[in-house]
Amino acid sequence: MVIAGIPLTEHLPRPNGTGDASLLLLGGDAVVAGRLRRAGYEVRRHALDTGPLAQLAGIPFTPPVVAWPFPDASYDAVVLLDELALTVREEEALAEAARVLRPGGILLLRVPASGRIAWLDGYNIYRYVRDITRRGRLLPEVKGVGWRRHYRRHDLRDLLRPHFRVRAVRASGIGLSDASRLGLSLWWRWILRSEHGDAAIQRVPRLLARFEGRFVIAGRGYWLVIAAERLPSP
């Protein structure tokens, strides 16, 4: 089974029908969660704190990093779709992922790749247009980080190294989801100056992300998909 370009069946523990394969999903939507449940996984959903709780962190427009509300070693797998690039302190988020994973548990991570098609980033182009024209409303997801990050493979391996052993890295996607986010953001938040289209700005890119994951351009992709195994505690 492949979800949003992530080959789940290659890396996740297989459900055995007794509910033993518990999975924490961050990002994605109800459709992704539903597909995982139908495949036999016991799924819980959570969201990283990337919202507008800015001042509490002591840094302007930076949300606090909070502990995830789950016990230690409570999941066999964590699937983290796209949110790491928008959280303020990646190290704390990955440390929380390691904490809630059982030893040997699997982290499946998707992040925007640094490369030739990184310019398609819908968050960053919209922010650039908004800044130079001084028109439109800021997208709430980037209030903490300002600009969404893009990752090189070796930098991502270094980021994961304290808690995880990387099993596989692959390219995925051609940027359709972010191109749609840019178009919708410009229409609703820049031209109309309205927040009424926020649901569509979230829904349509997620829909496209489900389909574009199978495509790459000349061996390169808009996303990096990583499978990593939680290291044993020291």
Q: Average pLDDT, whole number, for the chain?
A: 81
Q: How many domains does the chain have?
A: 1
pLDDT of residue 193: 87
Minimum mean pLDDT among 2-6, 64-68, 92-96, 171-175: which range?
A: 2-6
pTM above 0.85, yes or no: no
- Residue 50: which domain range? 2-230
Q: In what order do the strands lie in the sheet with 75-81?
A: 42-46, 22-26, 75-81, 101-112, 223-230, 164-172
Mean pLDDT to the nearest integer, 220-230? 87
Q: What is the CATH number of the domain that holds 11?
A: 3.40.50.150
pLDDT band at 159 (very low <50, low <70, confident <90, very high): very high
Q: What is the largest CA-CA distance in the chain?
A: 56
pLDDT of residue 60: 44
Mean pLDDT to the nearest integer, 156-170? 93
Instruction: Say yes or no to pLDDT of 70 above 80.
Output: yes
Q: Are 82 and 212 in contact (CB under 8 A)?
A: no
**Residue 196, burial from CB neighbour count under 10 angstroms (0-12, 13-18, 19+):** exposed
